[in-house]
Structure 1
Amino acid sequence: MEVFEEFLSRIDHPDHRERMEEVLGWIMNKFPTLTPVIKWNQPMFTDHDTYIIGFSVAKQHIAVAPEQAGINRFSEEIEQAGYDHTKELVRIKWKNEVDYSLLEKMIEFNIMDKADCETFWRK
């Protein structure tokens, strides 16, 4: 979690900081082979130097960014979980629970789908 300390310290609301730390910690425990990094001042996880998932925070929500392919693949499940989304990110309102099974599916999808990817982002 050390790599995310500075990012987390900038989250003013203690409950929001705790929630974000919980999500990042869950990913680190569930997917120990992923590399936690900060890029563009945002926490993200990579696999063989390719992007898997990233996060940002806003006043009303956590933004989860599994790339457009992840949004397209899971759009129905995202909506069923009660989250709204754009073509690039999912918004989880601070008051909502995190659907960890959906998060796990999105991460697993990106790991498998990008297994042979040689670039940071999909082309």
Structure 2
Amino acid sequence: MQLPVSLIETDALALALDGRGPIGEAAERGWQIFASSPLHGGELVRAATGELAALLRPGLSVAQACLLAAASCPGVTKVLLSASAPAHWEAARAALDQAAIPPRTLRKVCDVLAPHHPS
């Protein structure tokens, strides 16, 4: 299954943290979940801050931290992305080689970015 997962639209991520929503249901069925648009077409890189990146994973760039956040969504098995330069591919690979961001950190970020996510 493929669906957008990013910190721009946090609903899917917030629901997945509770094992609910489309990602939780697909994971329960044993389906692979492909996260598309993890940087929301580049919008997230322009909108996010260094403070957010440091909260997610100190030492990563904004783009890397936001990409790792999508990859750390419970149930996500693959992340679909494109890059315009070899250096971007290398930065993405370096980010995705990191350990997953803990669920409690993702929850904190979701609560700050969209405090009224679906119940």
Which structure exhibits the higher relative contact order, with contacts defined as CA atoms closer than 8 Å and separated by 6 or more residues?
2
Higher strand share: 1
Does the TM-score normalized on the shorter chain lie above 0.5? no
TM-score (norm 1): 0.31
More helix by share: 2
Question: What TM-score, normalized by structure 2, do the two folds share?
Answer: 0.32
